[in-house]
């Protein structure tokens, strides 16, 4: 969704300016057209040539530049921007925005634009926590500026505290979320589950599966980027929480059931991509089970059937990972759980199993009609699945 988008990136005078360069690089790699505006203070930390080399576009630095390639540069940049990002944003620049001052190219452009503006604070913790800065940040929020961060961590002063600029990967997610505000899923609440549940045997061991959560996380980001309000219910996985969504962390099937039923209240769609354990130990040991001489027998009980418990006017999408009789087993699950459609994949197929970035699936609708899709990236598949969800939501 970043391809061809005009993004104006403002860089102010902070040691975190190097992250601004990384953001410019990542946005450009994603196909965005990035116009950088640097304040005079920013040029004390990083050279304009760095940004020109990364974006392959001119860098604007002077409000009164006689040789500018753009006529009335701040107006031209403001009008064509799809989104503006100030990263990093210093306490001084945040104060200027709060007061409506326009004494340099960046502040003039922000005042002139009708595009959404994302402000990414970066400063010493004392400066950020100062009541004046907090008041200025609150003013910007009240004027519909998007405030991204900061977070706590190691600061340039050598101390740790609140004021560290968000990492670039998280910022990319926030940019996509803002650009997707007018998408076809705007106003919709979507719940997605991801990963494999962990059913405890003792304090050390658990029963689980090989689900990486990648399919679920791809669905979350795709739904967010199309304007939906998204709740992710995730088990422990080696993936970072997506930006711009509510994340509920769970471990067991019982915890997931509780979280799903709560999140689905008032939701428009549930995408049950998590691999929920079918069985769990009846009595987990309170202490670590020691290795004995003989065998160990575990008595298991069935876990809750979460999808079947979700009632009401909500689009329900199930997922079936099968090793045999793919379509027949998926159709049975579709009927039993009263799903709108189900996404089935053969885990024995190359490139279609757990932990892969790709997937080859068969989508079966409520009538039982099966559609085979070719091998594709899970990010691409997420878009196709959400296309089907969007059509169902339009009919409802």
- Contact at 8 Å (CB) between 292 and 273? no
CA distance 57 to 295: 68
Q: Which residues are bridge partners to 9 per DSSP?
A: 36, 85
Residues labelled catalytic: 209
For tokens 């650009």, name the residue: 179
Tokens of 110: 């922000």
Query: Any alpha helices (H) in 310-361, and if so which ranges?
Result: 326-336
* Distance from C-alpha of 21 to C-alpha of 14, rounded to nearest angstrom: 12
Residues 6+ apart with CB under 8 A from 367: none
* Residue reference for tokens 């009980």: 301
Q: Evaluate whether 217 touches 244 at the Cβ level (below 8 Å).
A: no
Q: How many CA atoms does the CB half-sphere of 238 hold within 13 Å?
A: 4
**Own/partner pairs for 369-372, CB < 8 Å, 24+ apart?**
370/327, 370/331
| CB-side neighbour CA atoms (13 Å) of 294 | 2
SS3 sequence, 196-248? Answer: ECCEECCCCCEECCCCCCHHHHHHHHHHHHCCCEEEEEECCCCCCCCCCCEEE
Cα angle value 135/168/175 (rounded, 5°):
70
Phi, psi of 311 (to 5 degrees): -115, 175
Q: Among residues 39, 41, 59, 47, which one has the least CA distance to residue 18?
A: 47
Whole-angstrom Cα distance, residue 276 to residue 283? Answer: 19
* Structure-token match 């925005």, residue found: 97
The β-bridge relationship of strands 160-164 and 151-154 is antiparallel
Tell me the sheet residues that pair with 279.
302
């Amino acid at each position: 969704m970043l391809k061809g988008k005009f993004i104006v990136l403002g860089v102010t005078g902070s040691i975190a300016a190097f992250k601004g360069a990384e953001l410019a690089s990542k946005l450009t790699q994603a196909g965005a057209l990035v116009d950088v505006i640097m304040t005079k203070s920013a040029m004390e930390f990083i050279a304009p040539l760095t940004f020109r080399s990364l974006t392959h576009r001119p860098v604007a630095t002077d409000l009164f530049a006689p040789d500018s390639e753009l006529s009335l540069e701040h107006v031209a940049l403001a009008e064509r921007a799809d989104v503006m990002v100030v990263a990093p944003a210093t306490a001084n620049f945040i104060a200027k925005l709060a007061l409506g001052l326009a004494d340099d190219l960046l502040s003039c452009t922000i005042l002139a634009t009708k595009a959404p503006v994302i402000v990414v604070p970066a400063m010493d913790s004392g400066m950020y926590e100062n009541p004046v800065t907090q008041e200025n940040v609150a003013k910007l929020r009240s004027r519909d500026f998007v405030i991204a961060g900061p977070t706590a961590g190691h600061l340039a002063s050598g101390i740790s505290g609140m004021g560290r600029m968000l990492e670039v990967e998280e910022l990319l997610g926030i940019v996509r979320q803002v650009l997707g505000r007018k998408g076809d899923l705007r106003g919709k609440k979507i719940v997605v589950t991801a990963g494999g549940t962990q059913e405890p045997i003792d304090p050390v061991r658990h029963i689980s599966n090989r689900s990486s959560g990648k399919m679920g996380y791809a669905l979350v980001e795709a739904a967010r980027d199309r304007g939906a309000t998204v709740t992710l219910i995730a088990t422990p996985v080696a993936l970072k929480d997506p930006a711009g969504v509510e994340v509920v962390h769970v471990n067991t099937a019982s915890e997931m059931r509780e979280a799903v039923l709560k999140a689905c209240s008032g939701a428009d769609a549930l995408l049950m991509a998590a691999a929920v354990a079918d069985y769990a130990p009846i009595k987990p040991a309170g202490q670590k089970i020691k290795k004995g001489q003989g065998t160990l027998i575990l008595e298991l009980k069935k876990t809750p059937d979460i999808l079947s418990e979700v009632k009401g006017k909500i689009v329900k999408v199930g997922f079936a990972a099968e090793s045999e009789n793919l379509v027949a087993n998926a159709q049975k699950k579709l009927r039993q759980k009263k799903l709108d459609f189900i996404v089935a994949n053969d885990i024995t197929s190359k490139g279609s199993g757990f932990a892969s970035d790709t997937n080859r699936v068969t989508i079966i609708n409520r009538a039982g009609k099966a559609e085979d899709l070719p091998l594709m990236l899970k990010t691409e598949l997420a878009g196709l699945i959400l296309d089907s969800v969007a059509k169902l939501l339009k009919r409802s």
